Every structure is written in C-alpha cells, then in structure tokens.
C-alpha cells in the first residue's frame, strides 16, 4: 500500500511496479489503465510508462475522477470505440476509487477493458465485471481492499469475479492469454516443451466483424465458440491452445513434424469452413493462419509468437483465408512494409512528401505543353521510396485519399503560377472515388486557386474502373462537367477492355511504357500493336500519349506513328517545381531547331 501511495504521489513507476502493471494489463482484456491522485490529477498511464506525461494529458477531462473521489463510488461506462483509433469496438471505462486503510479515497484507477468479444454477456453484467477488473489492478499492487469489498459487496457478485480471474476464456473454454504463457512455462520447466521443436500457430478468424455486423454479436460469439471447438477437437495432450482475445487464437504444438503441422492447419481450416447453424442461419467462416517453426534455438516463446504474427500478417496481405509459414525473408519484407507505412503515416508531420513534375510534349511541334504531377516520399535518410511501392501501401492503410487530395492541391496551386498554356495532370487512385466527394473536392480546389478547369487533367488507370465501377461512373461524368480533362493511364497493362474505353468519356489515352520498350524499327509486330492502339484512341476521339520515351531511336521509331503527345526521360525527368522555370522561357514558335528545350544531361528519375 505505501508503494501505491508513493506511486500515486510521484507518478513514477519503479521497474518492479512496471512489471506489475504490464502483468495487470495482460490479465483479461484490460488494454489500458490510468492512475489519478487525490487531486484528480492523472499521474500515470499504463502504456506510456517511463515517459513524462504531457501537461495537457494530466487533467481529469470528464470530471469522473473527481466525482469518484468525492462520492467514493465507482463510475462505469460502456463505450462504442468504432469511431476511435486504437480502441476496441466496444470497451468499458471504469473509474474505481483507491481506498486507504482508513477508508478514505486517495486516488482513482481508471481501467479500460476490451469488451468486443464478450459484449453480449457483458451488456448484462458489465457493472460487476468492470468493478472486478478494477480489483485486478488494485490487487496487483497488493492493495488490501477488504474494506472496500465490504463497502461494495451489495454491488459485486463474487462469482463473476472468480469467473473473470479464472484461467479460461469464458467464451470458448480455451486458456486465456495469461494462462497460456503460464502453462507453456510450466511445460518447459517440466521438460515437456522444447521450443526448438515446437510450432507456434497463430489463427485469426477472417470475418468476425462481418458476422457481428450482419448477424449480431450473439452470432459472432457463437462462431468464436465454433472455432474454439474446432481447435480443441484437434489437440493432443502435448499441444497448448488459447484464445488471445478478439478473433485471435494460438496453438503451440510441442513436437509435430512439418507435415503433421500442415495437416493440423488444413483440418482446422476445413472444420471451420463447414457451415454452422446459428439462430436458423447457416454461417461459414474462414481462417488466416501464420506459423513459425524451428528458427534460432535461443528464440523465446514471445520471439516465436512475434514471427508467427508476421506470417499471419502476410496471410492477411495475401487476401486472407490462407496460411503462411514464417521465413526470414518475410520478416524483412514485412519490416520494410511497416517502415514504408510509418513513413507514409508520418509523412506530413515530417515533411516527407513532395510533388515532382514531368514534362509532356506535343508531338506536332515537340513543345512542352504540360506536366504530370508525380508524388515523391522521402524516407528518414532522404532517399526516395518509389511510388510503385508506397502508393499500394498508402491505399491499404487508408491514407491515399488524404494524400491524393494534398497532391491535387499542390499541383493546382503550382500550375496556377505557370504560363497559361501549360496544363497539369494528376494521378487519382481508385480509393479516392470511394468517399463520393471527389467532384466537390476538385471543384473546391479549382475555385480556391482560380486555375481554369481545362488546365487540369486527371489520370485514372483501368484497374480503377474495374475495382469500383459502380461508384465511379457518376463521378467521372461530374468531373467532366466541371470541365477538367480525363485521361486513361497505363493503357495496355490491365484488361485493356474496349468496354471501358467505349463506356466512359475519356479525353486522352496514355499508352503504357511497356509498349515503347519493345518498339524498334526492325520489330514490325510491336509497331502494329502500337499503331492499332493509337488508331483506336483516335477513333474514340481521344488524344493519345505514349509514355516512357527514353532514347532518340524511340523518338525516330515513333515519328511515323500518329500519337499526339510524348512523355519520357528523353524529354525530361520528373523534377521539383522550382526546376521548371527553363521550360517557361520557351516561347511558342521560338524557332528552336526541334522546337523543344531539353535539360542536359538528362538524369535518372528521382523516383
């Protein structure tokens, strides 16, 4: 008790206290707790141990701690976390008083408990459960709360507390996280478990959220039980399994061969995919699984779990409903992906995004007529991460709309400073159509900058149309009405379906650079293909740009084809806006030998 009093006073947890706190947080589904002192000032937050609290973070923002100190009664709230970051969909926030031996309230513990998995059970019992959890935290500090229990006895059903503190997951009957670690350690000490021969299998139910959303939490719970039963049914006495929380399960096999492990996983996947009847409905589900076997003998169970988790992450990236065995290369790949994702998420705060501009050349007079805006992302060392790598990750991470809007804004603001004869072309990701407000965004940005709409071109790829055909049609029409020009980018790399060209009113077709690569004077075939695409574009009243022109030979080979615009390193690499000035000096009909201004020497793309 003096230790806790000291902690409340100083807010500085000793190493031992930190260990206790971390353990307390692992019990059940406590995902965070905070400690307030007798003045209702926050002194500690469990996931920021060792970091000084920011001044603003100290206050008792909703006054609950103060109320608890005054009344001595707990406050328990059930919260919807679906709109908040880093919160479970359903969680409880409980403010429980810390009482001294004399019965005076000397502080408040605020506990956050994840209730997603047990929400139904919880809705009826949350008061008891949350109070019991407050006790878990207090008990971890050795607070003699007998006096407190007496005070609260009317409200707390001891049975619930016992259930909560027991070793099993209430829903599935499997071990819970804490017991899993404990049992694994016991097995290791007794010589039943040699981690070198063990396999860690992470199992994740793919569609729990969909089941919950469509059929209710009761069906979700029922389905989790189905998975739990499937796992239990496949275990031998040497295996250990637990539900780690939410839709995540773990199996630790002591000594199965690789073939046996894959059989176990296949059996499990098959069992789970069988439909179960819940409330008269037949529900099916799928699993994503990540496995770690072998590895360095010194790896701890936690290390191995981390690696199995990486394999699970990869299984999810592959589209779920599959299983992946951990490899060191995978670890590198995922680490790189996480690095890129972090660079993206912190990109604006760290000023890591830039827009570069690549000249677009009119074939008729070989003069620069516009620029394509190409996004650049610097990593911490100042190197550029290529867009082909970071754009798909930004799309997956749900960041692309924000970034894409920023690119649009930059490009428009920049283009308005150019002489009027230049246009700017901006790439739009399929995801940017999802919110349905792209037309308004474009209109708003154009109005704010006074850039004439005809000076803005938007590029979408064919895949964009395939992915979200429904929501896109009206928006493309809307954009056309605003007066911007539409280009189909990378034509020839996707389905190259005539249907899309025909159905939508694109003003321009950009032929992917793979076509120019194989073009040479001697190769008639690729020439015919290119010629056909260009004619097709013209037939459909589109202008045609050929991308990726790198050499004079390619320019020559193109000279007898009737494409309208050129783009490529030969004419200019993507460059920062400040380097574009020489292009603006060029006057129309300037009489330059070939009518274009080239920056020599042409350097490789900054991307």
Reading the block at residue 465, the tokens are 């149309």
Instruction: Out of 90, 227, 268, 375, point to the residue binding ligand C2E (CB under 6 A).
Output: 375
488 binds ligand C2E (CB under 6 A): no
Stretch binding ligand C2E (CB under 6 A), from 220-228, 270-278, 385-393, 535-543: 385-393
Q: How far is the CB of 510 from Mg ion (least distance, A)?
A: 5
388 binds, among ligand C2E, Mg ion, none (CB under 5 to 8 A by kind): ligand C2E
Instruction: Out of 107, 117, 134, 568, point to the residue binding ligand C2E (CB under 6 A).
Output: 568
Q: How far is the CB of 42 from ligand C2E (least distance, A)?
A: 42
CA neighbor of 466 nearest in space, from 503, 437, 426: 503
**How many Cβ atoms from other residues are within 10 Å of residue 273's Cβ?**
13
Helix axes 119-140, 158-165, angle to 10 degrees: 80
Instruction: Out of 6, 11, 81, 387, point to the residue binding ligand C2E (CB under 6 A).
Output: 387
What is the size of the binding site for ligand C2E (CB under 6 A)?
26
Adjacent-strand bridge partners of 357: 373, 575
116 binds Mg ion (CB under 5 A): no
Cα–Cα distance measured from residue 256 to residue 178, given in angstroms and rounded to the nearest whole number: 24
Q: Which is nearer to ligand C2E, 212 or 567 (CB)?
A: 567
546 binds ligand C2E (CB under 6 A): no
Beta-strand relationship, 353-362 and 565-566 = antiparallel
Cα–Cα distance measured from residue 314 to residue 308, given in angstroms and rounded to the nearest whole number: 10
513 binds ligand C2E (CB under 6 A): yes
CA neighbor of 338 nearest in space, from 376, 302, 310, 301: 310
For residue 453, what are the contacts with CB-CB under 8 A and spacing of at least 6? 446, 482, 483, 484
Residues within window 391-420 making contact with ligand C2E, judged by CB under 6 A: 391, 404, 407
386 binds ligand C2E (CB under 6 A): yes
Q: Which is nearer to Mg ion, 120 or 461 (CB)?
A: 461
388 binds ligand C2E (CB under 6 A): yes
For residue 554, what are the contacts with CB-CB under 8 A and spacing of at least 6? 516, 519, 568, 570
605 binds, among Mg ion, ligand C2E, none (CB under 5 to 8 A by kind): ligand C2E
8 Å CB contact between 10 and 89: no
What is the size of the binding site for Mg ion (CB under 5 A)?
5
For residue 352, what are the contacts with CB-CB under 8 A and spacing of at least 6? 343, 346, 377, 378, 379
Beta-strand relationship, 384-385 and 423-427 = unpaired
Instruction: Out of 169, 204, 490, 564, point to the residue binding Mg ion (CB under 5 A).
Output: 490
Please report, for residues 217, 222, 285, the alpha-carbon distance to residue 282 in angstroms, rounded to integers and kept in the order given. Answer: 15, 12, 10
Residues within window 423-482 making contact with ligand C2E, judged by CB under 6 A: 427-429, 459
569 binds ligand C2E (CB under 6 A): yes
Q: Which is nearer to Mg ion, 239 or 512 (CB)?
A: 512
Q: Which is nearer to ligand C2E, 163 or 507 (CB)?
A: 507
Q: Element (H or E) spanning 125, and its range?
A: helix 119-140
Contacts with Mg ion by CB under 5 A lie at 427, 459, 489-490, 547
Contact positions toward ligand C2E, by CB under 6 A?
Answer: 358, 374-375, 386-388, 391, 404, 407, 427-429, 459, 489-490, 513, 547-550, 567-569, 574, 605, 607
């Amino acid at each position: 008790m003096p230790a806790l009093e000291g902690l409340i006073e100083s807010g500085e947890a000793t190493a031992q206290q930190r260990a206790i706190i971390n353990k307390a947080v692992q019990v059940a589904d406590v995902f965070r707790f905070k400690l307030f002192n007798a003045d209702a000032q926050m002194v500690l937050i469990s996931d920021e141990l060792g970091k000084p609290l920011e001044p603003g973070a100290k206050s008792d923002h909703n006054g609950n701690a103060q109320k608890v100190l005054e009344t001595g009664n707990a406050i328990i709230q059930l919260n919807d976390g679906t709109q908040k970051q880093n919160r479970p969909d359903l969680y409880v926030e409980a403010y429980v008083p810390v009482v001294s031996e004399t019965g005076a309230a000397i502080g408040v513990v605020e506990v956050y408990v994840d209730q997603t998995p047990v929400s139904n059970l919880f809705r009826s019992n949350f008061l008891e459960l949350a109070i019991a959890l407050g006790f878990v935290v207090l008990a971890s500090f050795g607070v003699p709360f007998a006096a407190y229990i007496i005070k609260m006895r009317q409200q707390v059903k001891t049975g619930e507390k016992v259930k909560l503190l027991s070793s099993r997951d209430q829903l599935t009957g499997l071990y819970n996280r804490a017991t899993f670690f404990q049992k694994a350690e016991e097995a290791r000490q007794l010589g039943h478990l040699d981690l070198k021969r063990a396999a860690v299998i992470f199992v994740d139910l793919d569609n729990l959220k969909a089941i919950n959303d469509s059929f209710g939490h009761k069906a979700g719970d029922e389905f989790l039980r189905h998975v739990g039963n499937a796992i239990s049914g496949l275990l031998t006495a040497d295996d250990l399994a637990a539900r780690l929380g939410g839709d995540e399960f773990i199996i630790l096999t002591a000594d199965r061969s690789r073939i046996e492990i894959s059989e176990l996983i296949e059996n499990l996947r098959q069992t789970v995919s069988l439909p179960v009847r819940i409330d008269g409905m037949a529900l099916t589900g799928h699993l994503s699984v990540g496995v770690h076997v072998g590895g360095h003998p010194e790896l701890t169970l936690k290390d191995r779990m981390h690696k199995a988790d990486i394999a699970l992450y990869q299984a999810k990236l592959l589209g779920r409903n599959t299983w992946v065995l951990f490899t060191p290369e995978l670890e590198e790949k995922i680490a790189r992906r996480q690095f890129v994702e972090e660079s993206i998420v912190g990109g604006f705060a760290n000023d890591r995004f830039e827009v570069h501009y690549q000249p677009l050349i009119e074939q008729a007079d070989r003069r620069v007529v516009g620029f394509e805006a190409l996004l650049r992302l610097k990593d911490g060392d100042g190197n550029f991460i290529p867009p082909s790598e970071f754009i798909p990750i930004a799309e997956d991470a749900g960041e692309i709309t924000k970034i894409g809007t920023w690119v649009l804004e930059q490009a428009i603001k920049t283009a308005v400073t150019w002489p009027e004869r230049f246009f700017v072309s901006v790439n739009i990701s399929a995801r940017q159509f999802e919110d349905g407000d792209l037309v308004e965004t474009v209109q708003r940005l154009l109005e704010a900058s006074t850039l004439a709409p005809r000076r803005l071109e938007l590029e979408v790829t064919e895949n964009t149309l395939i992915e979200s055909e429904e929501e896109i049609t009206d928006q493309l029409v809307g954009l056309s009405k605003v007066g911007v020009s539409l280009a189909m980018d990378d034509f020839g790399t996707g389905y190259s379906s005539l249907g899309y060209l025909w159905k939508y009113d694109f003003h321009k077709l950009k032929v992917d650079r793979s076509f120019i690569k194989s073009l040479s004077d001697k190769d008639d075939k690729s020439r015919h293909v290119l010629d056909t695409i260009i004619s097709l574009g013209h037939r459909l009243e589109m202008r045609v740009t050929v991308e990726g022109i790198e050499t004079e030979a390619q320019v020559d080979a193109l000279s007898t084809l009737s494409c309208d615009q050129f783009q490529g390193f030969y004419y200019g690499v993507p460059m920062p806006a400040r380097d574009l000035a020489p292009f603006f000096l060029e006057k129309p009909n300037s009489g330059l030998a070939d009518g274009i201004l080239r920056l020599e020497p042409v350097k490789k793309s900054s991307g």
